[in-house]
C-alpha cells in the first residue's frame, strides 16, 4: 500500500474543515431555526448536509478513513452539474438560483486535486472485497 504524504493528509483535513465551516454557516442556522414554510425536499437537503458536516468532523481526525465522504461530495456535485446545470447553461437559460448552486458545486473541483487517487485505487479498486458470509 502506498503511503499518503503528510502534506496530502493536511490538504484532506483542509477540505474537511472547509465542509464543516461552510455547512455550519450555510445549513446549521436553518436546522436550528427552520421556517415552517420549508418544503419537504428543502428540509431533507438541510438534514443531509448537516449530517455531511458532522461526518466531516471525523475527517479531521481520520482523513483517509473518511474518503468515501469526499467521494460522495464529488459524485453528487458532478451528477448535479452534468444533469441539471449543464443543459440550461448550454441553452443560455441558467436561472440565478441554478447559477449560484452551479458555482458552489463547481468549487468541488478542489476535491479532485486533493484526493490521493493512488490510495483510492489500491484500497477501493484493487483490494479484495470483504467476504459476503
Output the 3-class SS for the chain: CCCCCHHHHHHHHHHHHHHHHHHHHHCHHHHHCCCCCCCHHHHHHHHHHHHHHHHHHHHHHCCCCCHHHHHHHHHHHHHHHHHHHHHHHHCCCCCHHHHHHHHHHHCCHHHHHHCCHHHHHHHHHHCCCCCCC
Q: How confident is the model at residue 2 (pLDDT cuts 50, 70, 90)?
A: low
Residue 32, C-alpha cell as written in the block:
436550528
* pLDDT score of 99: 94
- pLDDT of 1 strictly over 60: no
CA–CA separation, 81 and 111 (whole Å): 15
Q: What is the pLDDT of residues 47-84, one digit of tens each?
A: 999 999 999 999 999 999 999 999 999 999 999 999 99
- Predicted TM-score of the model (pTM): 0.89
Q: What is the pLDDT of residues 85-125, one digit of tens each?
A: 999 999 999 999 999 999 999 998 999 999 999 999 999 99
Q: Under a CB-based contact definition with an 8 Å cutoff, are residues 46 and 53 in contact?
A: no
- pLDDT of 36 strictly over 90: no
Amino acid at each position: 500500500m502506498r503511503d499518503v504524504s503528510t502534506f496530502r493528509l493536511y490538504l484532506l483535513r483542509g477540505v474537511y474543515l472547509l465542509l464543516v465551516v461552510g455547512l455550519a454557516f450555510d445549513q446549521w442556522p436553518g436546522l436550528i431555526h427552520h421556517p415552517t414554510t420549508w418544503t419537504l425536499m428543502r428540509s431533507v437537503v438541510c438534514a443531509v448536509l448537516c449530517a455531511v458536516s458532522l461526518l466531516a468532523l471525523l475527517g479531521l481526525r481520520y482523513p483517509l478513513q473518511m474518503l468515501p465522504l469526499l467521494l460522495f461530495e464529488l459524485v453528487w456535485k458532478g451528477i448535479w452539474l452534468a444533469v441539471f446545470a449543464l443543459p440550461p447553461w448550454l441553452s443560455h437559460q441558467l436561472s440565478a438560483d441554478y447559477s449560484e448552486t452551479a458555482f458552489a458545486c463547481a468549487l468541488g473541483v478542489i476535491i479532485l486535486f486533493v484526493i490521493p487517487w493512488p490510495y483510492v485505487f489500491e484500497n477501493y479498486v484493487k483490494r479484495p472485497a470483504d467476504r459476503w458470509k
